[in-house]
Structure 1
Amino acid sequence: MSTPKTRETTDVRQGILDVGQRIMAAKGYSAVGLNEILATAGVPKGSFYHYFGSKDAFGEALLESYFSTYLAELDQILALPGLTMAQRLLKYWETWQHTQSFEDCQGKCLAVKLGVEVADLSEAMRAVLKRGTSGIIDRLAQAIETGVAEGSLTVGGEPYAVAQSLYQLWIGASMMVKITKSVLPFETAVSTTRQLLALS
């Protein structure tokens, strides 16, 4: 059972992470200084260094928090009652389109926004990105395997390889959506996804 002090510590730390996630999802990692995050969060600099030893340590914790939430939400979608696995997967990509667009993503597009940038800046952050994205691909592969077994979808290769291809397709589509300021890349991704899973 957590004490009020422990809860307060967790709340302050999570508050800094939540603010940082929203700001960095909009501006990127390098363009955001700690002062902007701390001013927005209403936290003194000393408190920041109590929770995070450096900006890179903060970035690592930020990505860990992001993927923890993302994977929990993905698990919920893939367990929705009353749907086939194919329908659940389509629901996941429908949610992706709403959260990863060029509009304000409220911090939900962090991996797309920071992926390329921080992978070159920090080995620790790259490792978190790799673990997080591997967790997503693993879940998609399991879902595809289940969908094949129940007969709601069909694939022409190993479920893991198909899941990997689909995830890379959607990451690429998200990048192109931001570049073109158009949702057309998502429409193409949906069409390709339906072909790969043999969905009508």
Structure 2
Amino acid sequence: MEHQNDTRSRILTTGRRLTAQQGYTGVGLSTLLKEAGIPKGSFYHYFASKEAYGCALLSEFMTEYSHRLNASLAHPDMNARSRLLTYFEGWREKQLSPHLEDRCLVVKLSAEVADLSENMSNILQKGVSDIVAHLTKTIEQGQNEGTIASIENPQTLAEMIYHMWLGASLVASISHSAAALNSAMDATKVLVPAP
């Protein structure tokens, strides 16, 4: 059983790297299996279809991302506003990383899989909803502790900021420039003011 888990994990790890570089549809199964060092016939032992593999890839990424998000937004030595701004600073750094696999798969795959797979789209949507919920909670904590000024609707603000960062990440990828992400960081500081 452990060997099976290792093989499945190797397929997903290799797939994540290749998907970050080439997109979901750009990665053929033969390339994936060759890169992972897995015999061609083995793929369907672990995944019923390429879509099932895509769902597993996204689910694994969202679980890992959720753990990192929790650690970032619950840092015990920082106030809520600092935690929020540090999270987005980390996002900016990762999206500017020369290593494509460091970048967010939500940003990379949102447009690509939206019309391709309802199941994959649902995984992304749930992940986005969870992220927005965490951001909302952090804004509310900041208001309660007095590090973030009063905001009428924290959830609407969290959604707006998250959507702004998704857009800025796409523009940064297209332009190969940090300008959009730097602007998003500046705007976030204004939108989440200290009292």
Select which of 136, 159, 166 maps to 2:161.
166
Give the aligned partner of residue 194 of structure 1: 189
Q: TM-score, normalised by structure 2?
A: 0.95
CA contact (8 A) 2:95 2:102 kept: no
CA contact (8 A) 2:55 2:119 kept: yes
Give the aligned partner of residue 72 of structure 2: 77
Aligned residues: 195
Select which of 62, 68, 71 maps to 2:57.
62
Give the aligned partner of residue 117 of structure 1: 112
CA contact (8 A) 1:137 1:164 kept: yes
* Cα distance change of structure 1 residues 116 and 155 upon mapping to structure 2, 3 Å threshold: farther
Q: Does 1:86 pair with 2:58?
A: no
Give the aligned partner of residue 173 of structure 2: 178
Q: Does 1:131 pair with 2:126?
A: yes
Select which of 133, 136, 140 maps to 1:141.
136
Structure 1 gaps of 5+ residues are: 1-5
Aligned to 1:32, the other structure's residue is in SS state coil
Letter in 2 for 1:13: R
CA contact (8 A) 1:102 1:177 kept: no
CA contact (8 A) 2:136 2:158 kept: yes
CA contact (8 A) 1:102 1:178 kept: no
* TM superposition outliers: structure 1 runs of 4+ over 6 Å: none
- Give 1:104 deviation, angstroms: 2.3
Q: TM-score, normalised by structure 1?
A: 0.93
Structure 2 gaps of 5+ residues are: none
Give the aligned partner of residue 46 of structure 1: 41
> What is the root-mean-square deviation in Å for CA atoms of aligned residues?
1.4
- Superposed CA deviations along residues 7-26 of structure 1, whole A, max 9, x for unmatched, are 22222111111110111111
Give the aligned partner of residue 156 of structure 1: 151
Letter in 1 for 2:70: D
